[in-house]
Amino acid sequence: MNYKNLKILDIGAGPFKYPGSISIDFNPNSNPDVLWDLNNYPWPFKDNEFDIVYSSHCLEHLNDPKKALEEIWRITKPNGKLILIVPHFSSRLAWGDIEHKRAFSSVLFHNFSDEYKELFFSHARFKVEKIRFRWSPPIKSGLATPTTKRLNFIIRILDKVISALANINIDICERFWCYWVGGMGEIHFYVRIIK
């Protein structure tokens, strides 16, 4: 896919901005393109403005994830893409950050999909194209401790093996064995906007 001609938004980018994107964040220290409290709606963008919306570890900090997803739906073009990375409910890191308000499961988008019409509670529609579990997300170099730097090689190998096994069948992983391996670290959702 040629991203050069696409308009991309990175929601809650912090210091790790998605390449080629416009960033929006509440923290002026992260030097966002748009300084905005994401708990204030509507966000300062036009309807159908973006081709791709990317958000990594932001939704769990917001007061109303449903409202945030509806806002993402509003500002993304029909058939646009959402790449959403959130902490899995089984992760100790999901609950270790005092600013996290919630964690998520693989069924996050059920209430927004046509397959679950009886659950509709929103006008926004999304089609999940792919879900991937990640056992241990990479530690950003600025956040790594001496111990994690030494263990990084082993963690990377375990991450590849455990993530691969989890993604064979995410339902079985989530329902039966995710806690056996210390929990899944995060969920990656690849979603198409339906309008």
Per-residue pLDDT reduced to its tens digit, 140-168: 555 556 666 667 778 888 999 999 999 99
Q: What's the DSSP call for residue 135?
A: S
Long-range contacts of 164-172 (CB under 8 A, 24+ apart): 166/133, 166/135, 167/132, 167/133, 170/106, 170/131, 170/133, 171/106
38 conformational bin, left if phi > 0, alpha if psi -120 to 50, beta if neither: alpha
Report residue 1's pLDDT band, with 50, 70 and 90 as the boundaries.
low
pTM assigned to the model: 0.91
Lowest mean pLDDT among 96-105, 118-127, 146-155, 164-173: 146-155
- Of all residues in the chain, the percent with pLDDT exceeding 70 is 89
163 conformational bin, left if phi > 0, alpha if psi -120 to 50, beta if neither: alpha
Q: What would the pLDDT profile of 4-31 be if each residue is shown by its tens digit? A: 789 999 999 988 888 899 999 999 999 9
Structural domains of the chain in order of their starting residue, each with its CATH number: 8-194 (3.40.50.150)
Report the residue count for the chain: 195
Predicted confidence (pLDDT) at residue 46 exceeds the cutoff of 80: yes
